[in-house]
Amino acid sequence: MMRRLRLFEATGIEIEYMIVDRETLSVKPIADLVLGAAGADGEAEVERDGLAWSNELALHVIELKTNGPVVSLDGIGAAFLQSTREIDTILRGHGARLMPTAMHPWMTPDADLVLWPHEAAPIYQAFHRIFDCRGHGWANLQSVHVNLPFADDEEFGRLHAAIRVLLPILPALAASSPVADGALTGLLDTRMDFYCGNASRIPSVCGLVVPERVYTRADYATHVLEPIYRDLAPHDPDGILHHEWVNARGAIARFDRYAIEIRVLDVQEHPGADVAVCAAVRGVVQALTEGRLGDPERYRDVPGDRLAATLQAVIRDADHTLIDDTEYARALGYRGGVPVRAVDLWRHLIDATLAAEPGFDEWSHPLEIILTEGCLARRILTRLGSCPGRAGLKDTYAELCDCLAAGRMFRAHA
């Protein structure tokens, strides 16, 4: 049996992208053709140069991930970029390309969703039967997952507590979904808004999105997993979904691989920006678990409804959210006055943690643009203006596709 990784010995990253028509930019459900061309040979995953490419629920989505946890994030952005370029080369032959960000701006899930039809199809069919996946919260969302390991109950408790308190402000750094159904939604993280309600038929599956105050494996099973399995059982008599990954909180415990998977991050315009955001999240979580931002006991028992209220505010306003909860700000080591804008709280957190790490030079440029020009959703809004038409949406999202291909940041002003 492999040795369990201890806290922050390694990190796993997963990034999802849309496949779209090269001319119209509408979704194109051909992920299986890409994986087949890459040598998947009927399987849903193929290994490429330290990464893995795999399928997701929707046939127009492809996932890239580190092929297991990596000790260092140095150079990982470049590895993801190389894979996106290889995929784009394959897609060119099908008149398609990759599109970044967390939601397609005009996809109509009712008409456009095609479920993955191959290996693991029964899982997706079960989700569809129970929740009806013809909605944005299932068919039109692309996220970045960060996996952080733990070795035992003590480490799990510390890690879960730290992630839980940081989770509500993650969209302030990562929101990239201000458009759906061809129009501005009034939210900067529309993906997370849909995500919060996509399992409303069985509320225990998602809970408050912010995880409960549970800090041991036994308590997690009792208070999180068992209620989910019990509530799903009448709808899933064969137990197809009786697995830890059915839990849809914003961060879920994966005891099968001794890691916590953070699911709240929207996809950025290119992998270097995604990895920079992941590095910032990891750096702050590590500082919290180690007590470098203050006493960890200060945040272990913050009620879930308070954290959920902050998350809802950040889903709406992202970087410009005013954090007026003094106790919450102090728990994150912020000693300035409140209210404080979420972006200023993030600058404090990054300056206090990641900025001192050796790899910061690689991540400083994307993070500085996010902190000065706004999260990607805000930069998209600045470019679109208040009443974008279909032509404006297409021009903006075509440039976002170009940013992915070139590995460059999307700027608020052309």
Residue 2 lies in a domain: no
Q: How far apart are CA 16 and CA 262, in angstroms?
A: 14
- Asked whether the beta carbons of 17 and 61 are under 8 A apart, the reply is yes
155, part of any domain: yes
Q: Contact at 8 Å (CB) between 265 and 174?
A: yes
pTM of this prediction exceeds 0.95: yes
Question: What are the tokens at 161?
Answer: 């507590």
Instruction: Name residue 259's beta-bridge partners.
Output: 149, 254
Backbone angles phi, psi at 322, to 5 degrees: -90, 115
Q: Where are the beta strands (DSSP E) in 29-101?
A: 45-48, 51-55, 61-66, 96-99
Helix (H) or strand (E) holding 259: strand 259-266
Identify the pLDDT of residue 40.
73
CA 316 to chain centre: 16
Q: What is the DSSP string of 85-106?
A: HHHHHHHHTTTEEEE-SSS-SS
pLDDT value, residue 143: 98
Q: Is residue 284 within 8 Å of 354, Cβ to Cβ?
A: yes
Q: Are strands 61-66 and 183-184 parallel, antiparallel or unpaired?
A: unpaired
Residue 256 included in any domain = yes
Nearest to 112 by CA among 198, 188, 21, 45: 21
Classify residue 410: in a domain, yes or no: no
The residues that bridge with 20 in the sheet, in sequence order, are 27, 97
For residues 345 and 323, the answer to whether their CB atoms sit within 8 Å is: yes
- Distance of alpha carbon 251 from alpha carbon 209, whole angstroms: 8
Q: What is the pLDDT along the chain (414 residues), one digit of tens a residue?
A: 568 999 999 999 999 999 999 999 999 999 999 999 998 765 679 998 899 999 999 999 999 999 999 999 999 999 999 999 999 999 999 999 999 999 999 999 999 999 999 988 999 999 999 999 999 999 999 999 999 999 999 999 999 999 999 999 999 999 999 999 999 999 999 999 999 999 999 999 999 999 999 999 999 999 999 999 999 999 999 999 999 999 999 999 999 999 999 999 999 999 999 999 999 999 999 999 999 999 998 899 999 999 999 999 999 999 999 999 999 999 999 999 999 999 999 999 999 999 888 889 999 999 999 999 999 999 999 999 988 999 999 999 999 999 999 999 999 987
Task: Report the alpha-carbon distance of residue 118 to residue 67 in Å, rounded.
Answer: 21
> Could you give the CA distance from residue 275 to residue 406 in angstroms, rounded to a whole number?
16
Residue 3 lies in a domain: no
Could you tell me where the beta strands, DSSP code E, fall in 28-155? 45-48, 51-55, 61-66, 96-99, 143-149
Amino acid at 113: L
* pLDDT given at position 2: 67
Label the pairing between strands 51-55 and 45-48.
Answer: antiparallel
Cβ distance 78 to 399 under 8 Å? no
Note the residue count of the chain: 414
Strands 322-323 and 179-180: unpaired
Residue 21 has φ and ψ, to the nearest 5°, of -65, 135
User: Encoding tokens for residue 22?
Assistant: 């090269």
- Write out the E strands in 316-385: 322-323, 340-341
Structural domain containing residue 338: 12-403
- Are the CB atoms for 97 and 401 separated by under 8 Å? yes
Task: Give the chain's end-to-end CA distance (angstroms, integer).
Answer: 53
**Structural domain includes residue 409:** no
Longest dimension (CA), the chain: 58
pLDDT at 42: 57
Which CATH number characterizes residue 290's domain?
Answer: 3.30.590.20
Would you say 110 and 77 are in contact if contact means Cβ atoms under 8 Å apart? no
Number of H helices, E strands in the chain: 17, 12
Q: Which residue has the tokens 């209210």?
A: 339
**Count of domains observed in the chain:** 1
CA distances (Å), 134 to each of 74, 114, 161, 185, in order? 38, 9, 34, 19
User: Is residue 412 in some structural domain?
Assistant: no
CA distance 99 to 84: 10
Structure confidence at residue 359 (pLDDT): 82
Residue 99 within a domain = yes
User: In angstroms, rounded to a whole number, what is the distance separating the alpha carbons of residues 284 and 377?
Assistant: 22
| Pair 196, 171: CB distance under 8 Å | no
pLDDT at 356: 87
Q: Are 270 and 404 in contact (CB under 8 A)?
A: yes
In 3D space, the residue among 248, 283, 281 whose CA is nearest the CA of residue 265 turns out to be 281
